[in-house]
Amino acid sequence: MLAAIIALAALAAVFGIGLGFAAVRFKVEGDPLVEQIDKILPQTQCGQCGFPGCRPYATAIAANEAEINQCPPGGEDGIVKLAELLGREPIPLNPENGVAKAVPTVAVIDENICIGCTKCIQACPVDAILGAAQQMHTVIATECTGCELCLEPCPVDCITMEPIADTPRTWRWPLPASEPQTAEAA
Amino acid sequence: MSLMQRLFNFRGGLHLDYRKDMSTRHPIRVAPVPPQLVLPLSQHAGAPAKPVVKVGERVLRGQTIAQPDGFVSVPIHASSSGTVVAIESRPIPHVSGLAAPCIVIDTDGRDESLPAPEWAPVDDFSALDAKTLRETVRRAGIAGLGGAGFPSFIKLSPGRSVETLIINGAECEPYISCDQQLMAERADEIVGGVQVILQAIGAPHCLIGVEDNKPDAIAALRAAAAQDERIQVRVVLTRYPQGGEKQLIQTLTGREVPSEGLPLDIGLVVHNPGTARAVYRAVRHAEPLTARIVTVTGGVVAQPQNFEARIGTPMQFLIEQAGGYVQPPGRLLMGGPMMGFALPSDALPVIKSTNCILAAAPGELRPDEAAMPCIRCGACQEACPVNLLPQQLYWHARGGEFDKTRALNLFDCIECGCCAQVCPSHIPLVQYYRHAKTEIWAEDREKRKADAARERHEARQARLEREEREKEEARARKKAQLAARKADADSSEAPPAAGATPADGTDDPVAAAIAAAKAKKAAAQTADGSAATDDPVARAIAAAKAKKAASTDNSNATTPADDPVARAIAAAKAKKAAAAAGGPAEAPVVRPRKAPPSDDAVAAAIAAAQARKAAKAAGTEPADAPPADDPVARAIAAAKARKAAAEQAQDAADPVAQAIAAAKAKKAAREATTAPASDDPVAKAIAEAKAKKAAKEATASDNADDPVARAIAAAKARKAAKDAAATPADDDPVARAIAAAKAKKAAREAADKPDGAS
């Protein structure tokens, strides 16, 4: 009887110490939720969600102040990922926030029309427009997120959104055309 | 067989029907120079090269026509002499079938080489150091000729000690025989290349692995390598995919390349025999890579054979050289039937990685049977040479669960096609894997882009905050200065200053206007006004106040107030608006709320400041507006510009919008006509009448910006008119005359133009 108690107590002590040590030694610094949400958001910084950028929206989602379906650039994929992360049900994109783009776009400045007013430069959330007052402006295409925030301030409407064309390097293999039926269906 | 020669084996794989003898009946034939060469700028893995020739330029064989752009890139050389006729997007032999930038050369048939090569040929390369050799290989534009097209010079700078160089002469894919014939016919050059590579990477020895179905190649290589005991020719079993880099390594050394690793990770470097030969020719003969061996074969090719073809030769030209088609091809592939890809047409150029052009008769290759459901037989798993789970990969790839395919080591798949070959349900498994791979790459790209965007956005936020802070500090400094100056000023100036103070902090133009008007009134009341006028300090204070109010008002907009561009826009718009409106540009139109009679300098300063503010609100500065000499006129221009800008910000190019904006501007001007009420009795009278009318209009009409502003404007206008009537005439008759004339003109125009806007 006593031997059993002592044995169990000893075991408990050993395991307790072991677990306690492990808890301290191998402590995993979990990503704060906002960071994780922000990582899923597409970082276009377009403000279509109604928040001034992706991070404020992530903060609002984490605080349960916003739905997860307010990000059109993230599309359905983004909503599904957010739903997975937050343990919520995926919901369709809120049409009030806009519609997902079929193809990614990039802003293109028509340099012949541009008057060099710098308004688009101030509007760009990622500083992807180059130029100076009375100098021609141009978009750094690789840095443009396609947020369209530069369209509105342009006094001469010289900015257009162009779809990003596939190149041999960005081309994706499609799924085979004729998908075999599933065993269940057959 | 000695122990040294012991061969290992890899798991899985298949025995296929090789059909290589179709194309090995003739020796390698040097293909003639085609009439036109199309050289894609991206024939290698890595960044596309940058053209260094212009359209219309004559080029010679071996001349560099595109320079590498970045580290993982190689130059491109003209394959023959001729004229550059285009640098444009052309379809390239790529699985996507997309077009990419190419340099197009119309050959002149003379095939003239450069008078002197771009670097010196070296007879005894053993004296050269590794760096020179690498540089030579890079300048020669050599990219792996086995198919992947990885820049070879990078593999020559391993950055660590290399145990063994392996030359992959297995060439396991059916139909293809370019390496086989090259090894049989140019074994000495390959061995020479091996020696150069050994020198460059500092490896002690080399293994040349050749499948046992190529006896002529084995014999030739053994003979060529007999003098060099560092080089051994190893005969390996004929089994697909023996020519896979990792499979050959496993066969020759018994070691496995780690998952998602490179052969270099285990101290090995693998090159293709064609690459070795190109290296030899680059170093020994200073020849850049302008030609390669291409197998033209398949059931519908009249005389299948191997060509030494210029890079950029159209495939159809080579097929014609091989006797053309005996019947229309069922499938046209670049590469072999297992790992090659379908080409949309034969009007594509041969590039550095084109090893084979396969024109197969319908049904010659794997029959195109419709895919059936997976029966989970596991045959694919048994055939897989890299120990993957093809079936699991298939399910996940099909379901879009790409992270799971990645966890199942999708990226170790060599896309050999064994699984699809053995699949009894004819499921195109490899395409699923390729789909999953490209989707994952795309996702990674997006992720990287998002990270970059986040970083840039955060950097921008930090910058804006910093700027705001600096502005705040500057503002505080200015305020302190102002306070100091105020203390110096005459006590009689205090009331206006005090009256104007509330405007400082406000960001509402209406409030600013009220403050300005108050200041003016106070100034008029304090004594006789002339005292105030003559005091430059008071004037300056008022102006500064007004300016500050204006800048506060615009603190959210970062447009620099004095931005000449903005000014130019404003001026242009004002002009345009005026022109469209029938020319009231000269009319002394001021919005009622800033109607102070310009008889006193303080008021003038205020007006000027307000004008500036108004202009700023429109992102503009009135200095360029035509009547720049007169503050009233400036204010007019600014107001107009602002209005026009606000109204027509949408589309200046659109004539309709322009017209509307102009009409609105005109109306605003007319509404305000009353204001500038000058000191001339006639003008004053007109002004009074106008002010009343304006007030009435302003309250009634729907075209003012907002009801509050409208009401205030109306009140202001009335008061301004009264003030104008009451104040003694200005001392400057010229200004008075101008103002009167302007008022008259404005009145006339206002009368002429019916209420067209709104």
Query: How confident is the model over B9-24, as pLDDT tens digits?
Result: 888 888 888 889 889 9
- Tell me the residues of chain A between 42 and 101 that have a Cβ less than 8 Å away from chain B: 42-45, 53-55
**Which of B73, B96, B405, B621 has the highest number of chain A CBs within 10 A, making it the mutation to test binding with A?**
B96
Instruction: Please indicate if any CB of chain B lies within 8 Å of the CB of A19.
Output: no
pLDDT bin (cut points 50, 70, 90) of residue B157 is: confident
8 Å CB contact between B314 and B320: no
Size of chain B in residues? 758
pLDDT bin (cut points 50, 70, 90) of residue B370 is: confident
As a whole number of angstroms, the distance between CA B118 and CA A180 comes to: 56
Q: What is the pLDDT of residues A126-177, one digit of tens each?
A: 999 999 998 889 999 989 999 899 999 999 999 999 998 888 888 989 888 7
- Tell me the residues of chain A between 95 and 124 that have a Cβ less than 8 Å away from chain B: 113, 115-119, 122
Three-state SS at B51? strand
- Mean pLDDT for chain B overall: 75
State which residue of chain A sits closest to B98, comparing Cα positions: A168
Mark yes or no for CB contact B456/A38 under 8 Å: no
Residue-level pLDDT at B5 = 57
Q: How far, rounded to the nearest angstrom, does the alpha carbon of residue B385 sit from its chain's CA centroid? A: 40
Residue-level pLDDT at B519 = 53
Instruction: Please indicate if any CB of chain B lies within 8 Å of the CB of A24.
Output: no
Q: Which of A55, A127, A173 lies at the smallest CB-CB distance from B456?
A: A127
Mark yes or no for CB contact A182/B434 under 8 Å: no
Write the DSSP assignment of A136-174 as a string of letters.
--EE-TTT-----TTTTT-TT--EEEEEPPP-TTT--PP
Q: Which of B96, B371, B457 lies at the smallest CB-CB distance from A125?
A: B457
- Mean pLDDT for chain A overall: 88
Q: Which of B374, B441, B449 lies at the smallest CB-CB distance from A180?
A: B374
**Which of B393, B398, B457, B468 has the highest number of chain A CBs within 10 A, making it the mutation to test binding with A?**
B457
The CATH class of the B1-21+121-287 domain is alpha beta
Residue-level pLDDT at B274 = 95
Mark yes or no for CB contact A122/B454 under 8 Å: no
Residue-level pLDDT at B357 = 95
Nearest alpha-carbon partner for A161 in A107, A110, A104 = A107
Mark yes or no for CB contact A127/B459 under 8 Å: yes
Query: Averaged over B313-319, what is the pLDDT?
Result: 95
> Given CA atoms B713, B715, B716, B720 in this order, what sign does their dihedral have?
positive
H-helix or E-strand spanning residue B86? strand B82-91
Reading the block at residue B490, the tokens are 């005459």
pTM equals 0.67
pLDDT at B473 over 50: yes
Nearest alpha-carbon partner for B145 in B310, B272, B259 = B272
**Residue environment code for A139-154, b if the CB has 16+ CB neighbours within 10 A, otherwise e:** beeebbbbbbbbeebb
Distance between B197 CA and the closest CA of chain A, angstroms: 30
Three-state SS at B298? coil
Give CA torsion, residues A112, A116, A117, A122, to 10 deg: 110
Q: Which of B375, B450, B565 lies at the smallest CB-CB distance from A117?
A: B565
Mark yes or no for CB contact B456/A128 under 8 Å: yes
Residue-level pLDDT at A31 = 63
pLDDT at B4 over 60: no
Nearest alpha-carbon partner for B611 in B629, B580, B585, B590 = B590
Distance between B652 CA and the closest CA of chain A, angstroms: 6
**Which of B44, B92, B437, B454 has the highest number of chain A CBs within 10 A, making it the mutation to test binding with A?**
B454
Residue-level pLDDT at A153 = 92
Q: How many helices (H) and strands (E) are present in chain B, helices listed first? A: 24, 17
**For the purposes of burial, counting CB atoms within 10 Å of the CB of A36, is it exposed (0-12), middle (13-18) or buried (19 or more)?**
middle
Architecture in CATH for domain A101-167 = 2-Layer Sandwich (3.30)
Three-state SS at B303? coil
pLDDT at B205 over 70: yes
Contact list, A113 vs chain B (CB under 8 Å): 653
Distance between A2 CA and the closest CA of chain B, angstroms: 51
pLDDT at B354 over 80: yes
Distance between B411 CA and the closest CA of chain A, angstroms: 15
Contact list, A186 vs chain B (CB under 8 Å): 373
State which residue of chain B sits closest to A135, comparing Cα positions: B565
Q: Which of A44, A119, A173 lies at the smallest CB-CB distance from B453?
A: A44
Distance between B109 CA and the closest CA of chain A, angstroms: 32
As a whole number of angstroms, the distance between CA B115 and CA B97 comes to: 38
Contact list, A116 vs chain B (CB under 8 Å): 565
Percent of chain B with pLDDT over 90: 54
Q: State residue A134 phi and psi, 5-degree precision.
A: 65, 15
Mark yes or no for CB contact B98/A145 under 8 Å: no
Distance between B570 CA and the closest CA of chain A, angstroms: 10
As a whole number of angstroms, the distance between CA B494 and CA B497 comes to: 5
Distance between B578 CA and the closest CA of chain A, angstroms: 18
H-assigned helices in B526-600: 530-534, 536-553, 564-580
Reading the block at residue B486, the tokens are 């105020």
Packing angle between helix B273-284 and helix B130-139, nearest 10 degrees? 100
Conformation bin of residue B19: beta by default, left when phi > 0, alpha when psi is -120 to 50? left
Residue-level pLDDT at B674 = 37
Contact list, B43 vs chain A (CB under 8 Å): none
Contact list, A143 vs chain B (CB under 8 Å): 452-453, 456
Side-chain-side CA neighbours of residue B247 (13 Å): 28
8 Å CB contact between B325 and B307: no
8 Å CB contact between B162 and B267: yes
Instruction: Please indicate if any CB of chain B lies within 8 Å of the CB of A176.
Output: yes
Domain ranges for chain B: 1-21+121-287, 378-484, 489-752
As a whole number of angstroms, the distance between CA B494 and CA A11 comes to: 87
Reading the block at residue A28, the tokens are 């995993």
Q: Which of B94, B453, B619 lies at the smallest CB-CB distance from A168?
A: B94
Instruction: Please indicate if any CB of chain B lies within 8 Å of the CB of A128.
Output: yes
Query: Averaged over B477-491, what is the pLDDT?
Result: 85
Residue-level pLDDT at B242 = 92
Q: In this predicted model, which residue has the larger pLDDT, B495 or B449? A: B449
Distance between A105 CA and the closest CA of chain B, angstroms: 13
Q: What is the pLDDT of residues B401-432, one digit of tens each?
A: 999 999 999 999 999 999 999 999 999 999 99
Residue B382 has a CB neighbour count (10 Å cut-off) of 13
Instruction: Give B101's strand partners.
Output: B89
Packing angle between helix B390-398 and helix B429-488, nearest 10 degrees? 50
pLDDT bin (cut points 50, 70, 90) of residue B104 is: very high
- CA-to-CA separations, B523 to B539, B601, B736, in angstroms, rounded: 10, 10, 20
H-assigned helices in B535-563: 536-553
How far from each other are the two terminal CA atoms of chain A, in whole angstroms?
Answer: 65
As a whole number of angstroms, the distance between CA A3 and CA B188 comes to: 84
As a whole number of angstroms, the distance between CA B153 and CA B194 comes to: 14
Q: Which residues contact A87 (CB under 8 A, 6 or more apart)?
A: none
Q: In this predicted model, which residue has the larger pLDDT, B165 or B687? A: B165
Q: Which of B371, B459, B564 lies at the smallest CB-CB distance from A178?
A: B371
Distance between B620 CA and the closest CA of chain A, angstroms: 10
Q: Among B17-26, B490-499, B559-568, B665-674, which range has the highest average pLDDT?
A: B17-26
State which residue of chain A sits closest to B432, comparing Cα positions: A175
Q: Which of A38, A174, A181 lies at the smallest CB-CB distance from B373?
A: A181
Q: What is the pLDDT of residues A10-48, one digit of tens each?
A: 999 999 999 999 988 888 776 678 888 998 999 989 888
How far from each other are the two terminal CA atoms of chain B, in whole angstroms?
Answer: 100
Fold of A33-97: 3-methyladenine DNA Glycosylase II; Chain A, domain 3 (1.10.15)
Q: What is the pLDDT of residues B655-664, one digit of tens each?
A: 334 433 443 4
Mark yes or no for CB contact A183/B374 under 8 Å: yes
8 Å CB contact between A127 and B453: no
ipTM above 0.90, yes or no: no
As a whole number of angstroms, the distance between CA B686 and CA B691 comes to: 8
Distance between A26 CA and the closest CA of chain B, angstroms: 24
Domain ranges for chain A: 33-97, 101-167
Q: Among B13-27, B547-561, B642-656, which range has the highest average pLDDT?
A: B13-27
Is residue A158 annotated as involved in ligand binding?
no
Is residue A120 annotated as involved in ligand binding?
yes
Q: Which residues contact B242 (CB under 8 A, 6 or more apart)?
A: B10, B13, B170, B172, B209, B211, B236, B248, B251
Residue-level pLDDT at B512 = 53
Reading the block at residue B394, the tokens are 């298939």
Mark yes or no for CB contact A117/B446 under 8 Å: no
Instruction: Please indicate if any CB of chain B lies within 8 Å of the CB of A166.
Output: yes
Mark yes or no for CB contact A122/B398 under 8 Å: no
Q: Where are the beta strands (DSSP E) in B602-663?
A: none
As a whole number of angstroms, the distance between CA B481 and CA B504 comes to: 14
Mark yes or no for CB contact B565/A115 under 8 Å: yes
Q: Which of A133, A168, A176 lies at the smallest CB-CB distance from B431?
A: A176
